[in-house]
């Protein structure tokens, strides 16, 4: 920057008691597209007059402005010379900030849309709502499929038919090796086979013959222990 303009910046720093002065000068310089240009004497004089009028005379009046313009600026503590680089960096930062703000707005909108979509999807495709809309065996099969897909025994409780409900608990119990789910199958004569398979499959997969004792009667216990100990074995466990 030309030394005469730099001198005016220093005087503006003193007059404004801080960086507001040079900033006011810099706004004029950029408005006149001075940075980066080689000014001839005429152009330099025009720029100086513009700065003096706008920064000093309009702000402080003639007499006070004259006082500031006569000041010695050989040593101005705290003053920073004009430098185009920081402004360029500032411009880049400003541009980047705007881009980031735009990205943030887009991401926020996408998040809102995703939440709205998820809400309506849940309302429309809620498994429980979907299955409850069915009747008879279709309803039971629907809940059974949901239980297997999501490995969630809560769906089994929604099944009306005891056979399908017990079968649902059996599959989830064996899949998750959760013996407590076998207890959800009432140990009645009509369910004896399902209870036996449930306990036997888990005991076999865990290699724990002691679990067979849960079956109570000797016939089923022997069957279970033989399966676990592999004295004889055939595929009885649900896939």
Q: Are residues 10 and 72 in the same domain?
A: yes
Q: Are residues 88 and 121 in the same domain?
A: yes
Q: Report the candidate in 143, 124, 148, 146 with the shortest Cα–Cα distance to residue 132.
A: 143
pLDDT at 83 over 90: no
Query: How many independent structural domains does the chain possess?
Result: 3
Q: Are residues 120 and 41 in the same domain?
A: no
Whether residue 199 is contained in a domain is answered as yes
Q: Grade residue 169 by pLDDT with cuts at 50, 70 and 90.
A: very high
| Per-residue pLDDT, 95 | 56
The mean pLDDT of 25-51, rounded to a whole number, is 88
Q: Are residues 167 and 109 in the same domain?
A: no
Whether residue 65 is contained in a domain is answered as yes
Whether residue 233 is contained in a domain is answered as no
Whether residue 56 is contained in a domain is answered as yes
The mean pLDDT of 99-111, rounded to a whole number, is 88
Q: Are residues 90 and 75 in the same domain?
A: no
Which domain covers residue 35, as residue numbers? 3-80
Q: Are residues 70 and 110 in the same domain?
A: no
Whether residue 237 is contained in a domain is answered as no
Q: Are residues 222 and 135 in the same domain?
A: yes
Cβ partners under 8 Å of residue 231, min gap 6 = none
pTM check: above 0.75: no
Q: Are residues 137 and 213 in the same domain?
A: yes
Q: Are residues 114 and 144 in the same domain?
A: no
Report percent pLDDT > 90 for the chain: 54
Q: Grade residue 183 by pLDDT with cuts at 50, 70 and 90.
A: very high
SS3 call for 116:
helix
Alpha-carbon distance of 222 to 213, in angstroms, equals 9
pLDDT at 84 over 90: no
Q: Are residues 147 and 209 in the same domain?
A: yes
In the chain, alpha helices (H): 3-15, 20-31, 41-51, 58-60, 62-69, 84-125, 127-132, 136-150, 162-176, 192-206, 218-228
The mean pLDDT of 166-171, rounded to a whole number, is 94
pLDDT at 99 over 90: no
Q: Are residues 28 and 58 in the same domain?
A: yes
Q: Are residues 101 and 142 in the same domain?
A: no
């Amino acid at each position: 920057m030309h030394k005469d303009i730099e001198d005016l910046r220093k005087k503006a720093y003193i007059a404004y008691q801080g960086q507001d002065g040079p900033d006011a000068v810099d706004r004029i310089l950029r408005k006149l597209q001075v940075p980066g240009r080689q000014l001839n004497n005429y152009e330099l004089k025009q720029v100086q007059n513009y700065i003096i009028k706008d920064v000093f005379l309009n702000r402080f009046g003639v007499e006070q402005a004259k006082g500031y313009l006569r000041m010695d600026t050989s040593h101005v503590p705290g003053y920073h010379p004009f430098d185009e680089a920081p402004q360029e960096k500032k411009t880049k930062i400003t541009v980047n900030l705007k881009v980031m703000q735009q990205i943030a707005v887009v991401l926020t909108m996408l998040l809102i849309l995703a939440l709205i979509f998820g809400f309506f999807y849940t309302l429309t495709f809620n498994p429980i709502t979907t299955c409850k809309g069915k009747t008879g065996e279709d309803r039971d099969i629907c809940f059974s499929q949901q239980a297997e897909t999501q490995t969630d025994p809560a769906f089994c409780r929604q099944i009306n038919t005891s056979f399908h409900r017990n079968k649902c608990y059996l599959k989830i119990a064996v899949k998750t090796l959760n013996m407590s789910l076998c207890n959800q199958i009432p140990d009645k004569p009509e369910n004896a086979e399902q209870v036996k398979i449930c306990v036997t499959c888990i005991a076999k997969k865990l290699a724990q013959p002691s679990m067979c004792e849960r079956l109570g009667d000797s016939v089923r216990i022997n069957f279970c222990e033989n399966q676990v100990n592999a004295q004889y074995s055939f595929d009885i466990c649900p896939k």
